[in-house]
Structure 1
């Protein structure tokens, strides 16, 4: 299994970064994982802004040479791991800008006759690790699971990815947030995962 970790948080002294390190540590101890790439969107200076004009057209985004490196990473990976905070009930703008550009028509999906397109990323799987200030059940109780619906149904299922695992960690700004227990859970998961 080959794994791409997409990390989206602007501070390496953060809990989100600690989660990314636990993912890497567990994965390196897992014989089922044959290769790991880490993409830190902030460190990379990834530009989340969409630009469409006479030179850059939306219909050509799947062949934009500036995004080729990132398309190759997605093609290479069997498993995509996203690490990010939940802000205002959804992932940060930096990650959404990456998604807008990378999950483009004719790369991630292809329009066809009928209601739904053909997903072109079939066979891949996803793990989403997210943190939030509020309680863990906040998205489910107050937002009707908007975060999971956005990521799983509106994005990943749409492009053919059916296996999506979520770790939503709440109370992360509280000293009673059980940080070490949650970090250990992520380490153990990636140390043992087999597909």
Structure 2
């Protein structure tokens, strides 16, 4: 199994980073071989801003040479793991900008004249590991599950990825947030999934 882990938090001393470390430890401790690549969007200085002008046309996004390495990573991966906080009910702008730039027509999907396009990233799976200040059911009860709808239906199903799992951890700024138990849960999942 080949796993691409995408990390979207600016602080390497954050709880999100602790989750990243547990994901990676779980993958390393698996009994079967696991190939892993990590993309730390902030550390890399990934530019999330879309630019369209005479030189950069929207229809050419799928072949932008600046993003060639990132396209290769996505094509290489069997599984994509996203580790990020939920801010204002959605992922950080840098991750949304990555999605805007990477999941382009001609690379992630192809228009086919039907209601939904042909997803070109079929056969992959996604795991979203996210943290938030609010209580765990906040996105469902207050925001009509907007985060999951955005990630699963508006993005991943659109590009052909059907298998999407979520770990949404709430109350993460509270001393009663059960951080260690949640970190262990993520470690166990990545240590054993697919075994």
Assess same fold via TM > 0.5. Answer: yes
Cα distance in 1, alignment partners of residues 33 and 175 from structure 2: 34
- 8 Å CA contact retained: 2:27, 2:34: no
How far off its partner does 1:126 sit? 0.1
Match of 2:184 in 1: 184
Match of 1:104 in 2: 104
Cα distance in 2, alignment partners of residues 179 and 129 from structure 1: 13
Cα distance in 1, alignment partners of residues 138 and 171 from structure 2: 10
Cα distance in 2, alignment partners of residues 33 and 94 from structure 1: 31
Cα deviation 1:80-102 (Å, max 9, x = unaligned): 00000101100010000000011
Cα distance in 2, alignment partners of residues 54 and 118 from structure 1: 28
User: 3-state DSSP class of the match of 2:142?
Assistant: helix
Q: Which runs of 4+ in 1 moved over 2 A?
A: 31-34
Match of 2:137 in 1: 137
Cα deviation 1:75-129 (Å, max 9, x = unaligned): 0000000000101100010000000011100100000021010000000000000
Match of 1:37 in 2: 37
RMSD of aligned residue pairs (Cα, Å)? 0.8
Cα distance in 1, alignment partners of residues 22 and 116 from structure 2: 37
- 8 Å CA contact retained: 1:3, 1:33: no
Aligned residue pairs, count: 195
Match of 1:4 in 2: 4
Structure 1 unpaired stretches of 5+: none
- 8 Å CA contact retained: 1:32, 1:193: no
- 8 Å CA contact retained: 2:4, 2:79: yes
With the length of structure 2 as denominator, give the TM-score of the two structures.
0.99
User: 3-state DSSP class of the match of 1:46?
Assistant: coil
- 8 Å CA contact retained: 1:124, 1:163: yes
Structure 2 unpaired stretches of 5+: none
Cα distance in 1, alignment partners of residues 32 and 49 from structure 2: 36
How far off its partner does 1:33 sit? 4.5
With the length of structure 1 as denominator, give the TM-score of the two structures.
0.99
